[in-house]
Chains A and B, each alone.
Chain A
């Protein structure tokens, strides 16, 4: 049953995306926030530091660390003593955390982190794509991608609840497109403290570092055990598949807003062409679909909200009757000439009886604008594929041929 979002206009305020997220973090009652500046994430931790300076976050310590590596490492310690722990980063900062990301997940510490998605160096670029978080897909972090600042804000509370579930205990990233969402001002409903207190129970992990029961955290595992620890992490991810859906439903019931669980659909029911995408580009695609639907073009959108865990069944269920699937990726696996969502979507269709052509476009790298005309062109290509099949499986979009 599709869920509707009704925005309470009397509660709406116009704020920057970063502020909306920082406010969400505040009402989730964090105990430790670690912060290191990096564009375009910085406004989030600046807003949080102002909340701290104004005494608005009780029982919380704010640590100005000396690097992103230490930002996440500090949260290893705080989360292990039972403190709800949060940080935000992007791009180079996230890549610097790479080693710690695996560690946090393996130690089953439910840290939540906002990633204001940005391209990675070199060449250095502060503008948006999603290469940074996609490059961390194997680290054992839940990854949700937000379509707009309301969703980025709402997702924060959802992720604490998902990550801290005793059957999951896995960290998570709330991914929002840098600048496009982090720096844009839009009307939103800021999460209410009273509803959030009801929605999100206090963090009360089964095991903590505590002198009254002196446990050892972070032992090493020899080949007799290592495989099973990996297996448990994967099981937790599979549990998260269900939990992401139920938490989105609970959120909808309590706050009245729903932006999808693992996925969301727009005009997919009778669609011949289904476009798959993650993040803010979803809004642009919806506009194009609205226009094309007026001309009876049967095109729909499959918004992928959860990239980890990967919602294979949900995706298959939506695209099984389509005539062509187009996957947009703001990332590339170099040497594969394809983006991650495209590769993984294709992989989950193999060994099934779904036989739909899938084509991929790498788009919006390093902040390259994605005009509606680009989406139009991609849909024109898809129409061509319906007639005569795939000629190019995966390609760069809007490449300036004259420069290469």
Chain B
């Protein structure tokens, strides 16, 4: 496996940054003959303060909500100029840019069938603006716009199921990945970029700053999300789940995941927290059953 990083050091991501890891893994899977488009967000800001850039591949940022459309245009432009043959087109953005504000442009790009790969780096909130709730924020997570308080356990809704939305577009390949399983992610990105048509990778990416854990724990927290069943790792081909990473007979209880993070701290101190944790365990149990984890 090629371990050469195409994301240069000197970027201003936090120590232990999940975005930097996800971008690095993605480029390892895609190789250097690609063009990357990133929407606005942490990854964009931390890698490209003019006149410096951390990208060793051609890269473009346009706006927050249009990465799907920009990627469409890059693909179409390369085709028209006879340059698409070898060059892969990749869009890589956060959960806000993917599940929320950029959803329409992504939907259009997938429906039209452009040959590109979209990678969602899901750290479950708007981190670049200071940890506000997004459509990917999990149930009961405390964010700066869904804070826990005397009468609130935090975010009142579960995560939007983006991989299912993409699969419903008829995408030939949709896969979930985790920073805790880099080789799995690199292999899935490679596979996604080699399949013709619009493919999708959804990477679970714990954010040290936004979630509240030590900078050394990015991978450990990511691994626990998988071990509890809260983040199932699977592949879907043409809408059907074809591969699942089993997590063994003994599943970790969700408490083990939640207690590592400041954003769930209130569940362990507030009255009624236990019932709320049980609801989160139900989400994990449903995943375990649905995907046969």
Contacts and interface: CB of A to CB of B under 8 A. Distances in A.
Say if the two chains contact directly (CB < 8 Å): yes
Interface of A: 31-32, 34, 59-61, 63-67, 69-71, 73-83, 85, 99-100, 103, 107, 209-211, 213-222, 225
Given A211-B32, A219-B61, A70 B49 contact: no
B74 A80 contact: yes
Contacts of B108: 65-67, 70
Contact of B70 (A64, A73, A83): A73
Contacts of B33: 211
Most buried by A among B37, B56, B66, B69: B69
Contact of A81 (B51, B55, B78, B105): B78
Contacts of A222: 49-50
Contact of A77 (B34, B72, B81): B72
Nearest to B71: A77
B73 A216 contact: no
A214 B57 contact: yes
A246 B71 CA distance: 36
B60 interface: yes
B244 interface: no
21 contacts: A32-B73, A63-B76, A63-B112, A65-B72, A66-B107, A66-B108, A69-B69, A73-B69, A73-B70, A73-B73, A75-B73, A76-B70, A77-B76, A78-B77, A81-B35, A103-B62, A107-B62, A209-B74, A210-B58, A214-B55, A218-B62
A69 B59 CA distance: 21
B149 interface: no
B68 interface: yes
B63 A100 contact: yes
B62 A81 contact: no
Given A63-B112, A217-B60, A219-B61, A79 B77 contact: yes
A66 to B, nearest CB: 3
Given A65-B72, A76-B70, A209 B105 contact: no
A31 B81 contact: yes
Given A99-B63, A209-B58, A70 B72 contact: yes
Interface of B: 32-35, 37, 44-45, 48-53, 55-63, 65-66, 68-83, 87, 104-105, 107-108, 111-112
A76 B32 contact: no
A276 to B, nearest CB: 36
B77 A61 contact: yes
Given A70-B108, A81-B83, A82-B77, A219 B48 contact: yes
A210 B83 CA distance: 10
Contacts of B80: 31-32, 59-61, 78, 83
B50 A225 contact: yes
Nearest to A83: B77
Given A73-B70, A222-B49, A214 B105 contact: no
B49 A220 contact: yes
B60 A218 contact: yes
A52 B66 CA distance: 25
A209 B55 CA distance: 12
Contacts of B48: 216, 218-220
Contacts of A83: 73, 76-78, 80-81
Tell me which of B48, B60, B65 has the highest count of chain A C-beta atoms within 10 A of its own C-beta: B60
Nearest to A221: B50
A209 B104 CA distance: 25
Contacts of A63: 72-73, 76, 112
Contacts of B61: 217-220
Contact of B76 (A71, A78, A209, A210): A78
Contacts of A214: 32, 55-59
Nearest to B114: A63
Nearest to A34: B73
Contacts of B59: 209, 214-217
Contacts of B81: 31, 59, 81-83
B35 to A, nearest CB: 5
Contacts of A64: 112
Contacts of B112: 63-65
B50 A69 contact: no
Q: Which 8 A-B pairs have the closest CB atoms?
A: A77-B73, A66-B108, A78-B77, A83-B77, A74-B73, A73-B66, A73-B69, A70-B69
Contact of B74 (A60, A70, A78): A78
B45 A216 contact: no
Given A60-B80, A211-B87, A220 B45 contact: yes
Given A80-B73, A220-B45, 11 more contacts: A34-B73, A74-B72, A76-B66, A77-B60, A78-B73, A80-B77, A100-B66, A216-B48, A216-B58, A219-B61, A221-B50
Contacts of B58: 209-211, 213-217
A103 B64 CA distance: 11
Nearest to B6: A214
Given A66-B105, A220-B48, A209 B60 contact: yes
B78 A220 contact: no
Nearest to B111: A66
